[in-house]
Chains A and B, each alone.
Chain A
Amino acid sequence: MRRTLTIARLETRLTLVDPIPFILLIGIPIVFLAFMSKGVVGGPAQSVPGLVAMFGMFGIPVIGLAFFRDHGWNTWDRLRASPARPAEVLAGKVLPLLALLFAQQAVLLLVGHELFSMPWRGSVAQAALLIGVLVLAEAALAMLIVSVCRSVDQLTALAYLGALLLGGFGGGLAPLSRLPDWVNDVAPASPVYWALRGLRVVVRHDVPTSHLFVAVGVLGAFAAGAGLLTAWRFRFDEPKRYFAD
C-alpha cells in the first residue's frame, strides 16, 4: 500500500508539472459547448452529457502515455527492479489519473449546469456513481490498449481514433436519433452510449438510483471485461518503444 501511494504521489507530481493535457481536456469541450449547447437536438441535456462522455474517452490516451513515457525514460525497468509488485506499480500509476479524469468530468457537468443551462434534477451521488464507473471503464480500456501496443505511435493512433469512434458511435457528438439506423444498432457496444443514457436520466429526471442500474451495470461490465482481458494480455516485462526506432 505504501509503495502504491509513493508511486501515486510521483504520478500526480509528473502530471501536475505538465497540466496542459488535462486543461485541454476540460477547455476544449467547454469551447464545443459554447456553440453546441443550444443548437443540438435535445439542447444542453443532450450536448453536455454527450461531450462529458466523449471527452472522458480522451482520458484513455492520457493513461496510456503515462505508461509509455516510463519506457522512454528507462524508469519502467527501474520500477520493475524495485521492491514494488506489478499490481502496486499499476495501481500507483492509474489511481491519480482516475481521480483527475473524475474531476474533469465532474467539472464539465458543473460548467454545463452553471453556464450552459443544463438541467439537473437527479442527485450529485447518482452523477458521481455514473462518472465513477465510466472512469473505471476508461482506465480498463486504456490498460487493454497499453497491453496490446508495442510503440507509442500505435498507442496514440489506437487510443485517439478509438476514443473518437466510441464517442461518435455512442452518441457523444450527435444525438443517435440524427444518425443512421446502423449506428443506432452498434451504439450499445460503446461505453459512451451507456454513460450518456445514465447521465441523461440524472439531468432530466429525479428518479431512484435503481433506474441507473442498467447503465451502471453495463459500464461496470465494460470495465470488468477490459480488466480481465488486460490481466490476460498485460506483460510487465514486455519492452515498449516510446519513440519509433
Chain B
Amino acid sequence: MPAAAGTAPSLRLAELRKSFGSAVVVDGLTFSVTPGQIVGLLGPNGAGKTTTISCIAGLLRPDGGTIEICGADAMRAGPAARAKLALVSQRSALYPRLDVEGNLRFYAELSGARRAELRRAVGETIEQLRLGPLLGRWVAQLSTGQRQLAHVASAMVTRPAVLLLDEATAHLDVAARRVVHEVVRAASAGGCAVVYSSHHLDEVEELCSHVVIISQGKTIAAGEVEALVEEFGGGRVELVIDGRTVVHDSPDLRAALLAVDAVERIEATRVVRPSLEAVFMALTGERIDDEGFARSAAGSEPPG
C-alpha cells in the first residue's frame, strides 16, 4: 500500500519474508502505514498476521526484507525503533501481582516517561479506557476481558508512534470492544500509525481506513477499504438447493429467488452485502468463520 503523497510512513514493510522450517509463513509482504492511518491486517488463522506483527515488534527475526519504523531500519536501530512502537497481543501481558496502575506506570516508565509526564500519561489512559473501577485491584483479580482492556491501556500509556494490535479485542465484550475502538481512533487522530490485525471482517471494516488482506503469507489485496469494497465486494446471494450452493453475483435476494425454478427446494439462503466479507470471498473463494478459520464459500472445508 503506497504512502500518501508527501507523508513519510511511520511503518514500512518491504518484501518481508519469514519461514519456520520448510513452511513459508510470510512471503514477500509489502505495505506501509502513515501517521494517523489505521490499517487492517486481515486474514484467516494461519495467514501470517501474528508472524508479521511479531517481526515488526522485534520478537521474530525476518528471513528477508526490511522493516522501517519512523524511517529507521528496525533491525539495526533496535531499542531506538522499539521505543516508538507498542504491541497489544491477543494474550494479555501484565504483571498479575501488581494493580492496574502499577502496570501502567511500569510500562510508561520503561518507554521513557518521567515524573509529571508519566503521571499525566497514566491518568489520561485510565480515563480514556474507563479503567477507574479497576484501580486498586490486582491484575490477577480481573476478568479476562478486564485484563485485556488493561493490557490495551498498558500499550496506549507509552504514547507510541506505531501501535500494533494483534487480535487485541478477541476476549472483549461488545462494550469493551467499543471502548478500544474509540481509543484506537483517538490515537490515530493524534498521529499514531495503527496496524490492526484481526480475522473479524466487520471490525476491520468499521475501524480501518485501509486494509491489507493476506492469505498464506501473501498479499492478495491492499488499499482503501471503500475502494476494495467498490471494486470486489459487490455482494452476492447464496442459495442452498438440494444440498448444493448456488451463488448469484448480486446481493438482491428477490432477484435471486425469482431466478430459481423450484423455490420450495431452497434449504437455506445467505445474503452477503457489499462488504469486506464479500471482497474476501471474491478474492479467495473462501470466507472466515467466527473462530477465524478459512472455509470455502460454499460452506465446506477448502481442499487441503
Contacts and interface: CB of A to CB of B under 8 A. Distances in A.
Name, among A7, A74, A78, A85, the residue most crowded by chain B CB atoms within 10 Å (CB to CB). A78
A6 interface: yes
A218 B82 CA distance: 40
A91 interface: no
A100 interface: no
A77 B59 contact: yes
A75 to B, nearest CB: 5
Contacts of A81: 57-59, 82, 85, 87
Interface in B7-61: 57-61
Interface in A14-32: 14, 17-18
Contacts of A77: 59, 87, 89, 93
Contacts of B243: none
A74 B98 contact: no
Contacts of A17: 97-98
Contacts, number: 61
Nearest to A84: B110
A80 B59 contact: yes
Given A18-B97, A73-B95, A75-B95, A6 B106 contact: yes
Contact of B110 (A14, A18, A82): A82
Interface in B75-125: 78-80, 82-83, 85, 87, 89, 91-98, 102, 106-107, 109-112
Nearest to B155: A78
Given A3-B110, A82-B110, A74 B83 contact: no
A2 B113 CA distance: 11
Contacts of A189: none
A83 interface: yes
Interface residues of B, number: 28
A131 B191 CA distance: 53
A3 B107 CA distance: 10
A73 B93 contact: yes
A83 B109 CA distance: 11
A10 B112 CA distance: 15
A22 to B, nearest CB: 15
Given A85-B78, A85-B79, A14 B92 contact: no
A78 B87 contact: yes
A205 interface: no
Contacts of B78: 85
Given A81-B59, A237-B59, A75 B94 contact: yes
Q: Is the interface of B mostly helix, strand, loop or mixed?
A: loop
Nearest to A82: B110
A204 interface: no
B98 A83 contact: no
A29 B111 CA distance: 41
B194 to A, nearest CB: 16
A82 B111 contact: yes
Contacts of A18: 97
A13 interface: yes
A75 B98 CA distance: 13
Contacts of B110: 3, 6-7, 82-84
A74 B93 CA distance: 5
Interface string A42-84: 0000000000000000000000000000000111011011111
Contacts of A84: 79, 110
Contacts of B109: 6
Nearest to B56: A81
A83 B79 contact: yes
B106 A83 contact: no
Nearest to B81: A83
A7 B61 CA distance: 24
Contacts of A75: 93-95
A235 B61 CA distance: 13
Contacts of B89: 74, 77
A17 to B, nearest CB: 5
6 contacts: A2-B112, A14-B95, A14-B98, A80-B59, A81-B57, A83-B80
The 4 lowest CB-CB distance pairs between A and B, nearest first, are: A83-B83, A74-B93, A78-B93, A81-B57
Interface of A: 2-3, 6-7, 10, 13-14, 17-18, 73-75, 77-78, 80-85, 237
Given A7-B110, A81-B82, A83-B112, 4 more contacts: A73-B95, A73-B96, A75-B93, A80-B59
